[in-house]
């Protein structure tokens, strides 16, 4: 009896739809194409949350910002290149020149970083000591790190402590500030030969 009721219901449903069924000519696709609306429809603008404005964001430096290494009162002159991008990483070169008449021992550098709110971001580096830098010779330290993808996130001011001197750069570094800003960020460092 249940089967008969189901069949009867099915037949009634089909009969009710019989007036709306169209035959599809052979070779035509289903569903039939929808006619294009006339006129141009206005698309609503996407809604986005406003980003909080940090207290400080370093602007990316340009070629005009680079200075020649000139010896002043310090034994080492230093200057940073532009931040470069390479396959999900960032690269920054620090050039150092020995301004004395004696060799200078290039110790292993240490790094500190400040974020846009001037809070310290913990950084570690595997950069080795650079050996003895001969008088009036320049060497380069290349620093590499994984990008965080956003200029306003992570380190905005990077300080490199090297051979008793301090070298500072403020730039769009995209360094640190990942999901856990308090964790260490590993920066790879290599001296040029």
142: which DSSP letter?
E
Q: How far apart are CA 143 and CA 82, in angstroms?
A: 12
Q: 77, 97 in Cβ contact below 8 A?
A: yes
- Asked if pLDDT for residue 6 goes beyond 80, the answer is no
**Predicted pLDDT of residue 40:** 57
Could you tell me the residue ranges of all domains in the chain? 63-191
Q: How far apart are CA 173 and CA 92, in angstroms?
A: 9
pTM above 0.75, yes or no: no
Q: Could you report the per-residue pLDDT of 25-60, keeping only the tens digit for each?
A: 555 555 555 555 555 555 555 555 544 444 344 445
Q: What is the mean pLDDT of residues 115-124?
A: 85
Among the listed residues 96, 92, 70, 73, the one whose alpha carbon sits nearest the alpha carbon of residue 83: 92
In CATH terms, the fold of domain 63-191 is Immunoglobulin-like (2.60.40)
Q: 148, 177 in Cβ contact below 8 A?
A: yes
Which of 82-86, 174-178, 187-191 has the least mean pLDDT? Answer: 174-178
Q: How far apart are CA 8 and CA 1, in angstroms?
A: 11
Helices and strands counted in the chain (H then E): 1, 12
Q: What is the mean pLDDT of residues 131-147?
A: 92
Q: Could you report the per-residue pLDDT of 83-111, keeping only the tens digit for each?
A: 888 788 889 999 999 999 999 999 999 99
**Predicted pLDDT of residue 103:** 96
């Amino acid at each position: 009896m249940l089967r008969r009721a189901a069949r009867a219901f099915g037949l009634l449903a089909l009969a009710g739809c019989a007036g709306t069924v169209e035959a599809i000519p052979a070779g035509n696709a289903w569903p039939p194409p929808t006619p294009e609306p006339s006129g141009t429809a206005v698309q609503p603008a996407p809604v986005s949350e406003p980003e909080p404005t940090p207290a400080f964001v370093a602007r990316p430096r340009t070629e005009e910002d680079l200075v020649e290494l000139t010896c002043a009162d310090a034994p080492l002159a230093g200057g940073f290149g532009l931040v470069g991008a390479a396959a999900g990483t960032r690269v920054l070169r620090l050039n150092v020149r020995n301004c004395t008449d004696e060799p200078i021992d290039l110790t292993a550098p240490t790094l500190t970083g400040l974020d846009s709110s001037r809070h310290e971001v913990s950084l570690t580096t595997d950069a080795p000591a650079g050996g003895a830098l001969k008088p009036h010779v320049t060497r380069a330290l290349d620093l590499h790190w994984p990008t965080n993808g956003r200029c306003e996130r992570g380190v905005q001011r990077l300080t490199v402590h090297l051979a008793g001197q301090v070298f500072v750069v403020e730039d769009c570094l995209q360094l640190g500030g990942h999901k856990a800003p308090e964790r260490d960020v590993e920066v790879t460092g290599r001296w040029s030969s």
